[in-house]
Amino acid sequence: MANQTLRGRGGTGAPRQRAVAAAARAAAKRAERTRGTTGPTGSGGPTEPTEPTELTGPAEEPSPRPAAEPARRRGLLTPALAVLTLLGLAATATLGLQHREAGRTAEARTAALAAARKAAPVILSYDYRHLDRDFRAARSHLTAPFLGQYSKTTTSVVAPTAKKYRGVVKATVASPPGGDAPAASVVSATPDKAVVLLFMNQATTSTQISGPRLDLNRVRMTLVRTPRGWKVGAVDAL
């Protein structure tokens, strides 16, 4: 009786254990198949086994290189901008000087022309009855080197001849027919020097001629700026 009981227990226990083991093996196979087909990511296809990755903490900050590039370009542009600024200032200064020079030249043309019109009749006129007064008035419009030449010529040539023949010369700046402006113009000018061309009428009387004589002469005068105003530095008859 005891042997039957043991066999009964052993006969009924062995199949049950085999069934449990078979079920466990089947479940393990199903699990393996599931892992093989889905992969660790669940994407639906086989994947290569992956190494475990380490968590290194928060993501690193972006590289500062992109911000450094504009700074480098700004560093390169600074000298170029400085050069351009200097060139701009130089150009402005040059234009300013040119403008100032042009203004001074225009002023010189006007002032020298007025001085020539005023000086020419005085320099080219004289009267034997008051030569000293006439020559002194003429010298007030002159400067070197013509001042010395005029003094020498009037003393040695003009005064003796005028006294001997009772010479009188009256000079005026000619006016064009139908016009009021005197026939005088500026040939060239700088801020400190100008050349003026004048057409002069000279009426002459003396004991050497029977009556008054009118001569039309062209005269070129060179005028220079002096502390006492514009003065005649040269006179040439053309």
pLDDT score for 204 = 96
Lowest model confidence (mean pLDDT) among 57-71, 143-157, 158-172, 219-233: 57-71
pLDDT score for 235 = 96
Give dist(CA 180, CA 12) in Å, integer.
155
Q: Does residue 55 register a pLDDT over 50?
A: no
Beta carbons of 235 and 219 less than 8 angstroms apart: yes
Looking at every residue in the chain, the average pLDDT score rounds to 79
Q: What is the pTM of this model?
A: 0.59
Confidence of residue 43 (pLDDT cuts 50, 70, 90): very low
pLDDT score for 9 = 46
pLDDT score for 42 = 44
Confidence of residue 70 (pLDDT cuts 50, 70, 90): low
Provide mean pLDDT across the span 137-143: 97
Long-range contacts of 222-229 (CB under 8 A, 24+ apart): 222/193, 222/194, 222/195, 222/196, 223/112, 223/115, 223/116, 223/193, 223/194, 223/195, 223/196, 224/143, 224/192, 224/193, 225/108, 225/191, 225/192, 225/193, 226/143, 229/111, 229/115
Cis peptide leading into residue 121 (ω within 30°) = no
Homologous superfamily (CATH) for 96-237: VirB8 protein (3.10.450.230)
pLDDT score for 174 = 92
93, β-bridge pairs: none
> CA dist 198 to 20, 37, 132, 178, Å?
141, 118, 25, 18
End-to-end CA distance of the chain: 173
